[in-house]
Chains A and B, each alone.
Chain A
């Protein structure tokens, strides 16, 4: 087990050391102390290691993650796990805006609430938020799933493509081209699998959720939709 204290040594050295790890490294568990809201901690990881961060982090923690599992024992700033490709990011506290933005894969679990634009432009990631999410979440979301145990703010799923949104609580309003869709068995199964991956199997009932998706009316330019653009 390796541990690193950001109050003692520079962030660049930490990230560089993490990047240098080979896929078959023996240093598979890292603890990072003293994050103190620093930005860009544990970004660009590319090995199946586990990293635990003891405290609050700033912007873009675990950005572009591949393979690694990153646990944040605190809150996270803007863009946690942005553009993640694979792996797992778990935030025990709340997260700010643009959590999981543009991410292509992996799983992001937020124990608390997420701010605005959660899952913006997501491209395949699975996001599970145990609390509520802010406005404009899943804006232009292309692929993947966003599961929310609490409520969603205004304009959920505006200009959505093919991402699937599951919300258990209320939705303040839907964005352009986002509609409620029927929950069929395949969706309940998918949702169950995502809840299970987030460690919530048996605790939360998939049939309490509603599903939202794209009406696909904006997929082609059409003068009659001018008001929606």
Chain B
């Protein structure tokens, strides 16, 4: 500091500034964030990894990074209220003699009874039926509540085979062979002892109260050649009537889709890393698998290379929230989508009306993800009969139906603006990207340019 004649310290060496010394602002590390530090302290105190529900919470390239190019001079739009924009979808016509017909391409993803209360399963069935779409069982078998209230029910065939039986298989409208899910590709299911009540334990042939760790591989087949034989067996058992889906978590979507189709699947279900789960290690949810945005184009490419696009249907999921997300997924080449988390929110999950209860659990409405503990204030991810009673399946089903109707209308709104008379006529050419990442992953140009990273010259 330059000395000036006015500087009092220059003349008086004993001078002290009465003001406190300026201090730097407390600064948090971008690496050791408060979240990271709290996890280190939790790990150090417990010695066990963090288990939670829901999907990846980090920010990821997603459908928000894409925009539609509405029609103008070079394309003309459809009248919003007068001209038809179809939404129906047929699933499984490749081989099944009784394919599935849905009124909307938004299906309800597989969520197990056990992870969800019987009331929640019933509500999903009611809502989906009102909307003309399907629900899916989960790791734990089929309940009467769900079969009774769901007009179209997809029966999951999982590595654990909990509750798997041929009577339910015959009652189902389609069969979904689960290889993996987006929240944890390569991992098996998990349901902790708190939720293994007598009924749940009975359905799974397990002792009540144990921490259930489902198998991550199927017990009687490995690899695509065996899968083909497994599909053949399921078709033989059901006289070739039922569509057979194969569900994979997004990691190598090109090859997984190609192999599933080659093995004889009617439908491929592809779940990205934002996809919810009932309970999994946080490290698995946040670090394994790829976002759905990056997975759709390779999967569609695989089907196109085999001449099977639109013949083998592709259902995609993982973070779908709105009709815009639906329209974007379909424009990238999917035939339908599935929702898990969003459906639970529509039922009433994480609703601020239970804020006091969330606070008591050390969390807040919107952030509650300890679904494995079975204490859900909204009564959805629980087996506690008192909490489960909080969810009225009729009202919750109605909310889900409303939400599905809104999403469908939103998707139609976009499709009409792009001049499409059916949601399936949306195409990648209707899209542009806001970020380089999204442009590369979705293989559509950056907005305002013709540039698709990795495809066209710079």
A positions within 8 Å CB-CB of B = 11-12, 15-16, 19, 39-40, 43-44, 46, 58-60, 63-64, 66, 78-79, 82-83, 85, 97-98, 101-102, 104, 117, 120-121, 123-124, 139-140, 142-143, 159, 161-162, 218-223
Contacts and interface: CB of A to CB of B under 8 A. Distances in A.
Contacts of B48: 221-223
Interface of A is mostly: loop
Q: Which 4 A-B pairs have the closest CB atoms?
A: A44-B237, A223-B47, A79-B220, A102-B161
A142 B206 contact: yes
Most central of B165, B205, B239 by chain A CB within 10 Å: B205
Contacts of B220: 60, 78-79, 82, 97-98, 101-102, 117, 120
Given A79-B221, A83-B166, A223-B48, A12 B236 contact: yes
Contact of B210 (A123, A143, A161): A161
7 contacts: A39-B229, A60-B220, A83-B161, A117-B220, A219-B193, A221-B211, A222-B48
A218 B210 CA distance: 9
Contacts of B240: 12
B334 to A, nearest CB: 31
B216 to A, nearest CB: 11
B107 to A, nearest CB: 26
B229 A40 contact: yes
Nearest to A99: B220
A98 B219 contact: yes
A117 to B, nearest CB: 7
Interface of B is mostly: loop
A12 B239 contact: yes
A222 B240 CA distance: 46
Most central of B165, B166, B170, B239 by chain A CB within 10 Å: B166
Contact of A83 (B165, B207, B213, B239): B165
B164 A44 contact: no
Nearest to A161: B206
B236 A142 contact: no
Nearest to B215: A140
A129 B204 CA distance: 26
Interface in B176-213: 192-193, 204-207, 210-211, 213
B120 interface: no
B236 A15 contact: yes
B239 A120 contact: no
A64 B236 CA distance: 11
Interface string B222-261: 0000100110110011111000000000000000000000
A12 B46 CA distance: 55
Contacts of B213: 159, 218
Contact of A40 (B160, B170, B233): B233
A170 B281 CA distance: 38
Contacts of B204: 142
B102 interface: no
Given A40-B229, A43-B233, A82-B220, A124 B161 contact: no
A77 B192 CA distance: 36
Contacts of A83: 161, 164-166
Contacts of A79: 220-221
A139 B232 CA distance: 25
Contacts of B237: 15, 40, 43-44, 63-64
A104 B205 contact: yes
B169 interface: yes
Contact of B229 (A12, A46, A60, A104): A60
Nearest to A121: B219
B226 A44 contact: no
A123 B46 CA distance: 33
Contacts of B232: 39-40
Contacts of A123: 161, 205
Given A43-B236, A83-B165, A223-B46, A161 B229 contact: no
Contact of A63 (B170, B207, B211, B233): B233
